[in-house]
Structure 1
């Protein structure tokens, strides 16, 4: 891999991490707060709809495509460990893959799948929604910070 290709991959990774981190930030700062202001049945139903709409090529392409780029950048960083910025590249790649992609698969997807089975009007759904929203948002903060920190590390690596 030549330096031009590594530069392009790192820049693509930084942009992808920023886009995904920004989307997750919007949820933490705006969307979940807005859903929490709704009556529980409406908030739950709205989140069910969001979770269906989120499974689309644009969002999944950004989330998972950036993950693939990060894996390639991380492997390249290991292969070029003695070069300037290699540690930053590896740290950024690991932060994104573990803190954003893996966290989404392990924490958010199962919670979203469980939420999809609920009837918003059923007894007990309001309590489930309250717990879901609290835990989901806390973990969303984690993946937001991981993606944005990975973006910053890639930018620093480009400057190294």
Structure 2
């Protein structure tokens, strides 16, 4: 059970850190990029989008769902059922509101911004719409974090 609790603790930490990254974008990074000189904000965002593809953040972002599903399936017999249910719920919320939104909304917009070369009209829409979808990802990650943390408290 100790290894299981440690794995769940790692999941809670990874989800919390991911929520922090999304919150930073929603709270001040996007506003700062939008206030930059014409073309500079879009260029900065294109650079960020390229950099994230080779980051520890992306590894964490991708591993949250499989780790959560693994914790549901391989829970020790002594793990209370509510903990398993909460972990599954957190994984579902994350899968839809974070991973799904990323694939359907944010990534296509990232590709369009780069393809446009940071054109001002694309950047204007991007900043507004991408940030709105990022708010959804932020909320989804925070809720997933809270659900995973609740599962951890059920186990301890």
TM-score bucket (shorter structure): 0.7 to 0.9
In structure 2, the partner of 1:24 is: 22
Give the Cα separation in 2 of the matches to 1:150 and 1:112: 24
Matches of 2:90 and 2:17, distance apart in 1 = 15
Is the Cα–Cα contact under 8 Å of residues 18 and 151 in structure 1 kept in the other structure?
yes
Is structure 2 residue 148 aligned with structure 1 residue 154?
A: yes
Given candidates 83, 98, 101, the residue that maps to 1:100 is 98
The equivalent of 1:7 in structure 2 is 5
The match for 2:31 is: 33
User: Could you report, residue by residue, the CA deviation over 1:96-142 in whole angstroms, capped at 9, with x for unpaired residues?
Assistant: 1221122212211111111111223xxxx212111111111011011
Runs of 5+ unmatched residues, structure 2: none
- Equivalent position SS for 1:56: coil
- Count the aligned residue pairs: 153
User: How far is the alpha carbon of 1:11 from its aligned partner?
Assistant: 1.3
Q: Is this contact kept in 2: 1:17–1:96, CA < 8 A?
A: no
**3-state SS of paired residue (2:81):** coil
Over residues 18-77 of structure 1, what are the superposed CA-to-partner deviations in whole Å (9 max), with x where a residue is unaligned? 011100101111100101112341111111111111111412111112232122234457
**Does the 8 Å contact 1:13/1:70 carry over to 2?**
yes
Tell whether 2:112 aligns with 1:118: no
Residue in structure 2 matched with residue 134 of structure 1 by the alignment: 128
Residue 85 of structure 2: aligned partner: 87
Cα distance between partner residues in 2 of 1:81 and 1:146? 25
RMSD: 2.1
* C-alpha distance in structure 2 between counterparts of 1:129 and 1:89, whole Å: 38
Distance in 2 of aligned mates of 1:86 and 1:72? 10
Given that residues 74 and 93 in structure 1 are in contact (C-alpha distance below 8 angstroms), is that contact kept between their aligned partners in structure 2?
no
Q: Using the alignment, how far apart are the partners of 2:27 and 2:73 within structure 1?
A: 34
* Separation in 2, partners of 1:141, 1:66: 19
- 1:12 to partner: Cα distance: 1.5
